[in-house]
A and B are shown apart, each in its own frame.
Chain A
Amino acid sequence: MREDGPRILSILASRFGDLDLADDAVQDAMIEAARTWPDRGVPPNVGGWLMTTARRRAQDRLRSAERARRRLEASAPLLDEQRWAPDVRLTDMIDEPRVAGPGGAVDEPTPPDERLRLLLLCCHPALNVDAQVALTLRLVGGLTTTEISAAFLIPEATLAQRIVRAKSKIRTAGIPLGLPDRLTDRLSAVLAVLYLVFNEGYLANDEANGSIRTDLVTEAIRLTRLVSELAPAEPEPLGLLALELFHQSRQTARIDALGDLVLLDDQDRATWDRHAIAEANRVLARAMKRMQPGPYQVQALIAAQHANAPTADETDWPTISSLYAQLDAMSASPVVRLNRAVAVAMTDGPLAGLEMLDQITDLDRYHLLWATRGELSRRACRAADARQAFTKALDLAPNAAERRHLERRLIALG
């Protein structure tokens, strides 16, 4: 049923041209299922039953809207006919011929286009990123508002409100359920949302909510896989999928039994998920065949260098360093430059890395900049600098595991 809801929603949304109506109809069908299946049993064709029920509920809702419209029209006969004209199209749809007969549930495969359209709508740049994330998880991922709000640690009412506002913006601004001229541009917004969802789960490690939040990792991977299937000609979805799988392969190794962070160098590589790494390698190879490099493919290549190195000492730092140079040229983000500085330090020594850190000007509030500065200063035997930087990082670190890690680094300085 997790898969069916979004699939049916995307079909109904494009058939009726109304996202809200489609969403309400799918909810109706789910409620109907919960009400009747315990007595009557689960129908043999779950997807078909849900599809037929949701479509009928959408038609019922349209009919009652149509009745309300007629009542209003009758009481206000002077209103210009023209203003009501668009609604006529909706009523035509009510009796469209594809309705299944009684009991004859029709299981229609979703055309890939329709799910892609829904994804692109949810991640339309005219919506803010929070709204994009909420809509994508709710409408394409099929998560409930309760699940999403728990995963993002925000009150359910806030999230529900966010979704209502986003749907209202879609309706009033006229954001279409269409395929854009330039799919690549719009896909990059979808991928950014999915990577954000992934990181929200991957980087979470507060004890109370850890497991709820790591569900986001699985969900992000599932949706990234979907995008790569829906847009098979595009290499970047495959790049992101490979990147997520490489990260996921180390998910258990990066946190120890006490909930503390374990650095890449110190991780037990035997615990890395070999299946995930093998799949990531295959996915990345498929992406690279397209010969259209992009930031996710380059990040996946960097992750591949780590994932495929038998020991930390055998990591190919010169290659990683040049991949970061490429990524830096593509994205010009200070966080990329920070990572590049780390790779440079591993290749050419800590002083070269520190020199590159000095050129980063706009990350003063980012704890990892200071943690990196501390680490490179320590390696360059500048203990006082290292102490100062770790202390600053400790002030800025957002979660307990990272703070504990920094405290240990400070103690190790003596």
Chain B
Amino acid sequence: MDYLIMNHTVEVDGPAPGTPEFQELMGRWMAYNQMLIDNGHWIGGGSLTPSAAATSVAKSGDSVKVTDGPFAETKEQIAGYYIIKADDLDEAIRLARAMPADDVVFEIRPIAFRPDA
């Protein structure tokens, strides 16, 4: 099955690019991504810019309203996402838990249909 994993987390400033801390953090994420690829779980994924860069577009009939900000103004925002292949929910949960992220809520949603699959 295919699952979307969304990482909900409080937005804080991470280490700046170029610092050793940043290198170390990126190294851990790259190793995690490689593990997904090597084990055939990888479909896609990426980290997102902070929600300050978000734009919401509400469409209803002919009316289209573009506003600044994310869909929900909550303390936690989606910081990144993965689309993965897993045998079942338990495997998806194991993969989510293995991410090098802390103080995070992973929302796991089965993907009903992917036209590119």
Quick check: A172 and B90 within 8 Å, CB to CB? no
Residue on A nearest B92 in the bound complex, by CB: A174
Shortest CB distance B90–A (Å): 5
Q: Does B88 contact A (CB under 8 A)?
A: yes
Q: Does B89 contact A (CB under 8 A)?
A: yes
Quick check: A172 and B88 within 8 Å, CB to CB? no
Quick check: B90 and A178 within 8 Å, CB to CB? yes
Residues of B within 8 A of A176 (CB): 87-91
Residues of B within 8 A of A178 (CB): 88, 90
Question: A172 vs B109: C-alpha distance in the bound complex, in angstroms?
Answer: 9
- As a 0/1 sequence over residues 87 to 117 of chain B, the CB contacts with chain A under 8 angstroms (1 = contact) are 1111110100000000000001010100001
Q: Does B1 contact A (CB under 8 A)?
A: yes
Residues of A within 8 A of B110 (CB): 172-174
Shortest CB distance B54–A (Å): 27
Q: Does A143 contact B (CB under 8 A)?
A: no
Residue on B nearest A126 in the bound complex, by CB: B89
Main secondary structure of the interface of B (DSSP, over half): mixed
Residue on B nearest A120 in the bound complex, by CB: B90
Shortest CB distance A232–B (Å): 23
Quick check: A180 and B90 within 8 Å, CB to CB? yes
The residues in A between 174 and 192 inclusive whose CB is less than 8 angstroms from any CB of B are 174-176, 178, 180-181
Residues of A within 8 A of B108 (CB): 173
- As a 0/1 sequence over residues 56 to 82 of chain B, the CB contacts with chain A under 8 angstroms (1 = contact) are 000000000000000000000000000
Residues of A within 8 A of B1 (CB): 174
The residues in B between 18 and 75 inclusive whose CB is less than 8 angstroms from any CB of A are none
Shortest CB distance A90–B (Å): 16
Question: A181 vs B117: C-alpha distance in the bound complex, in angstroms?
Answer: 30
Question: A175 vs B88: C-alpha distance in the bound complex, in angstroms?
Answer: 6
Residue on B nearest A82 in the bound complex, by CB: B117
Residues of B within 8 A of A174 (CB): 1, 3, 86-89, 92, 110
Shortest CB distance A220–B (Å): 26
Question: A174 vs B92: C-alpha distance in the bound complex, in angstroms?
Answer: 9
Residues of B within 8 A of A124 (CB): 89
Question: A124 vs B86: C-alpha distance in the bound complex, in angstroms?
Answer: 17
Residues of B within 8 A of A181 (CB): 94
The residues in A between 120 and 135 inclusive whose CB is less than 8 angstroms from any CB of B are 124, 126
Question: A124 vs B92: C-alpha distance in the bound complex, in angstroms?
Answer: 14
Question: A176 vs B93: C-alpha distance in the bound complex, in angstroms?
Answer: 12
Question: A180 vs B89: C-alpha distance in the bound complex, in angstroms?
Answer: 11
Shortest CB distance A120–B (Å): 10
Residue on A nearest B108 in the bound complex, by CB: A173
Residue on A nearest B1 in the bound complex, by CB: A174
Residues of A within 8 A of B90 (CB): 175-176, 178, 180
Residues of A within 8 A of B89 (CB): 124, 126, 173-176
Shortest CB distance A76–B (Å): 15
Question: A173 vs B4: C-alpha distance in the bound complex, in angstroms?
Answer: 11
Residues of A within 8 A of B112 (CB): 172
Question: A404 vs B4: C-alpha distance in the bound complex, in angstroms?
Answer: 54
User: Which of A82, A126, A174, A181 is the most central at the interface, judged by chain B CB atoms within 10 Å of its CB?
Assistant: A174
Shortest CB distance B108–A (Å): 8
The residues in A between 214 and 246 inclusive whose CB is less than 8 angstroms from any CB of B are none
- 8 A-B pairs (CB sep. < 8 Å): A172-B110, A173-B108, A173-B110, A174-B87, A174-B110, A175-B88, A176-B89, A181-B94
Seen from chain A, the residues whose Cβ lies within 8 Å of a Cβ on chain B are: 82, 124, 126, 172-176, 178, 180-181
Extra A-B contacts (11), CB below 8 Å, given A172-B110, A174-B86, A174-B89: A124-B89, A173-B108, A175-B88, A175-B89, A175-B90, A176-B88, A176-B90, A178-B88, A178-B90, A180-B90, A181-B94
Seen from chain B, the residues whose Cβ lies within 8 Å of a Cβ on chain A are: 1, 3, 86-92, 94, 108, 110, 112, 117
8 closest Cβ contacts across the A-B interface? A176-B88, A174-B88, A174-B1, A174-B89, A175-B89, A173-B89, A176-B90, A173-B110
